[in-house]
Amino acid sequence: MSAQGGPPIRLAIATVAAFGALLVGVGLARFAFAPMQPALVVDGWFSGSGAALLAAANLGGYLIGTLSGSRIARRVDATLVIRISMLVVAVSFFVCAEQSMPFIWFFLWRLASGVCGGIIMTLAGPTVLAYVPGPRRSLIGQMVLYGLTGGILIAGAIMPLLVSTSLIRAWIALGILSLIVTVLTWRMWPPAPPRPPVVRRQSEHARLYCMQYAFVSVGLAPQMIFLVDYIARDLDRGVDIGRQFFLLYGLGAIIGPLLYTFTAGRIGLRRTARIAIGLQCVSVVFLVVGTSTPFLIAASFLGGLGVPALLAISLLRSQQITDGDPIRHRALWGVATATVAVAQAIAAFGTAFLLYQFGDGGIGYPILFIVSSTSLAIAFAVDFVIRK
């Protein structure tokens, strides 16, 4: 497929570029921080609530990025914006590799990496999907979102080893990896698609879809961001044990898209979405009702099934609602991503507040898990109201 009469677009190359962008902007900037969070507390860099606030800063920045991404892309070439965002994320890791800097320094750079992650999430997928024929959008969309899974696997398999030797080395390693991916994908991007129109009002189906996606995102947040910290410090299992459970989470993240793609081909996308949301809710309930190893294994694996599978399902549902129109889809996806960012930022800062109020090993995390499972139950119910 060509770009407005130009040379043909190599979809495989463009997909790798979008995969790399999500790996850097969300996979590393958000997920690779998970095993670092308890280590930052244990090694005396920050308090428990301070480390949680740094995790929340990334999500707060993500909110800003999703709200501004589409607006920036209307004025500046989207692929240039994505490239610059990847560079900023790489720089953010390098500048955090100095323990003597004040807390506000880390907070602002974590915020900046979140802003860039939000911009990347808003622009990367739609930039590539604009050139993908309808029948192939499902496959390409899921391959792009596997960038999140790559971050989870790095967080579970590599980061704990780096953290155990030196947090400074861990920060620098993330910066080097992000920079390498940025350089390798720099020239892989297709031309930016037509700039999305300003959408004044979404349809009822689109508004309900955005609301459901927001509730799903709140349900995903606890395991996605705080699973390692909860197991390592609140349950006093240690960072190494927390890493092992996060690897199970990563295994689920690998299997989830494949499983749900197969299921969607047999029973349809909507029924698959309900199954995925239901299982995600069960995984969080396991964290509420038990702390033994079997409960944690089930919660970790089932929780991983939803990332990035539920994001891919949501991406495909947004295409259904916009009847496959790439311009309308890009606009709706921007609105939906911003809605999700609001919900996740509230959840993350709320968690930091709970940890500050109740301390490590208190009721902060259990309250979060109850809110999360309730949010997923609401998302499940909303799906029966969306008629498209």
* Integer angstrom CA distances of residue 158 from 93, 184, 242, 284: 16, 21, 13, 25
> What pLDDT sits at residue 111?
95
Distance CA(90)–CA(243), nearest Å, equals 23
Please give the model's pTM, rounded to 2 decimal places. Answer: 0.80
Question: Distance between alpha carbon 383 and the CA centroid of its chain, in Å?
Answer: 22
* Integer angstrom CA distances of residue 144 from 99, 138, 315: 34, 10, 11
At residue 98, φ and ψ (nearest 5 deg) are -135, 110
Distance CA(315)–CA(311), nearest Å, equals 6
pLDDT over threshold 60, residue 323? yes
Residue the block writes with tokens 């800003």: 64
Distance CA(365)–CA(234), nearest Å, equals 8
Distance CA(388)–CA(386), nearest Å, equals 6
Residue 120 identity = I
Write the pLDDT tens digit of every residue in 54-63: 988 998 898 8
Higher local confidence (pLDDT), 282 or 68: 282
Tokens of residue 178, six digits: 């992000």
Domain 11-191+202-382: CATH architecture, name and number where available? Up-down Bundle (1.20)
Write the pLDDT tens digit of every residue in 80-124: 999 999 999 999 999 999 999 999 999 999 999 999 999 998 888
Distance CA(214)–CA(388), nearest Å, equals 18
Tokens of residue 118, six digits: 């939000």
Per-residue confidence band for 7, with pLDDT thresholds at 50, 70 and 90: very low
pLDDT over threshold 70, residue 358? no
Per-residue confidence band for 155, with pLDDT thresholds at 50, 70 and 90: confident
For the chain, what's the residue count? 388
CB 46 within 8 Å of CB 24: no
- Rg of the chain in Å (alpha carbons): 19
Residue the block writes with tokens 């081909």: 265
Residue 8 has a CB neighbour count (10 Å cut-off) of: 10
Percent of the chain clearing pLDDT 70 (strictly above): 89
3 state SS of 21: helix
CB 64 within 8 Å of CB 11: no
CB 116 within 8 Å of CB 88: yes
Distance CA(258)–CA(165), nearest Å, equals 35
Residue 222 has a CB neighbour count (10 Å cut-off) of: 25
> What pLDDT sits at residue 6?
47
